[in-house]
Each structure stands twice: as C-alpha cells, then as structure tokens.
A and B are shown apart, each in its own frame.
Chain A
C-alpha cells in the first residue's frame, strides 16, 4: 500500500517540481530587465559595473601630499607565492641624525601575479590594496612591469 502511495506521490511531486522550475524560467523570460549580462565593450565607461572586491591589480594609494604608507618592511615580497613583488629600499639619514630604511622602488610584475591577495593580507600598514581595474592587455612586455610608488613620494608620518 505504501509503495502504491509512493508511486503516485512521485508522479504528482514530479509534476509539481516541473511546474516550479518552468515558472522560474518563465518568470525570467517575461522579465528581460533582470538580465545580468553586461555588454562589455559597448558599456565601457558608462554602465560597466565591477564589484569593489574584485582582484584586478595591486595599487599603492597615495594621498594629496604624495605620501604613501609603505615602510619597506618587505613582508609582501616574502608572502608572494610567485615572486611578482620586489621591494627595493635604501638607508637614509634623517635630519635628526638617525639612520632609517625607506622605500626606493616597489616593483610589481603583473605578468607573474595570480591576484591571490596574499600581499594585501600580509601588509601590516595597509599600504597596498587591490583595485578593480581589469583591462591589462598590452602589446609590449614593458607595460607589465610597474613601479607602484610615485616618484618623489614619501612615507606618511604617523598620526599622533
């Protein structure tokens, strides 16, 4: 008896689930405004939406005084799994006569980068972050070697 009940239950339940599925797709058919596709090359610079958390490339934010927050500790370089980061630093003497390590060049090989974001996690002073810029295609290899600190930039002094 139970098996007979199950037989007919299966049939009607099957039709119910078919109905549910077809109503879902039918709803999408008559609501074209819900379409998720972005017509990319056409909407470039107008309605193109890239999520803020998208891992596009590593950037180093500079403030209006051309100051960054990188202390050249090179933790990012060590955390990078494929060696796409080179942190070049130099020792300078401050006016007070102290010796101090400052950033010379933060070299980013974007052609080696897998956009894993380990460097951002490793950075103790939030000097770098991921931007959602994704159009990196280039005809020359030079474009893949980037120096992230702007020329003449300085370390931001600590807020007290």
Chain B
C-alpha cells in the first residue's frame, strides 16, 4: 500500500508552490538549483526530483536541459460559458487575436462529419482549417465543416479576417444559437504540432463541437489545443439558484 499512501513528494510539491508564491517568482523566472532547493526545503534529492516531476507534469514549471527549472507562464483560460465568436470572446479578455487560414476546400463529407451534420454520404461540405493566434501565439487549430447546401458561395469570403459565425448569420441568415461541445484527450499529429508550435505526440485537448440553428446542425468543428498552454473554465450554478 505504500505507493498509495506515500504523500511526501506531493507535500514537497506544495512546498515548492509555496516557495514560488513567497518569493514572488514570475513566469520564466528560474527556480534555485536542485541542490539549493533540497537544502532550503530540507528534503533529499530523490524526493525533490519526484516533486519537480509532478510540477512539470502539471505544467507549473518547465525545464531547459543544462539550465534548470523555470516557472511556466499561466495557461490560456477559455471560458466556455460564452457563445461568442473567437474574436469577440478573446478580445474582451484583453487578447490581440488573429487567424490564418491553412486550408479551405469543398469536399465530399467524410463519414464522421456526416453523422454530426446529419448528412448523407456524398453531400458536399466546406472544410475550413484555421490557426487561431492570441497575442501572436498559435493556440487553437480549428477545422470546421459546413454543408454547402446552407451557404453556397462561402469560398468567396476570407476567413482570416471575417468571422465565420457573422458571415453565416449576416449573409446566409442562419440563426446560430446553440453549441454542443464534448472534449477528450489526444496526442498531436506531426502536422498539428507544426501549426501549433508544439511537439509531435504532445498531449492536447480534442474538442468536438456542433453549432445549431434551432435543431439543425450547421457547423461541425474539431479544435485541437496543446495541454501545456490551454485550459477550460466554467462557472457551475447550484440547481436552486
């Protein structure tokens, strides 16, 4: 049972967190060397290393080989309780947003996309893949599928600058009011890692969302984002309130 109850390295992890707060270390500030930190916290090197690994696993610190350990910048926090366009939502959080279109095609809807959009095989969808930047850092890789029958001529718009939701609502009179999202865990493919400035096989969020006009699914979107840089948040309400 000792592997279940040995909480020492967890305690040391919290001690290092406290050290960071007390010494007001900022993102990218260096932690003391392992030897010094072990002395300060009065713990052996083995336990200290286990604690540092915990902090690294949870993205509190990062390590540069030969240089030591550094405080990680805070993750980008995506508040899921707003149904707004990318630009509106993130600008109101104080970020400078930009987008780059890396793929925009008209294709036959792949089977999984058919399911989410209630299409028959053979129907055409627009496939739009965009990298979303916050303060010039690539954070989200979004691949949207929109049935051509709802928005013929969509290819004339430039979605590096135009909002997809605004275009669908203003130019095609689609009333997008509801999103259903589900989230799981994936590993970045090589291509995704290049777009997001990450490593191949790195852990990432995999978010599937479907946007509806009343009951009708209009857009199916797959979003990938690096676990090291991204987190979701929401405020849950009590049932009585």
Partners in one complex: no
| A-binding residues in B (CB < 8 A) | none
| B-binding residues in A (CB < 8 A) | none
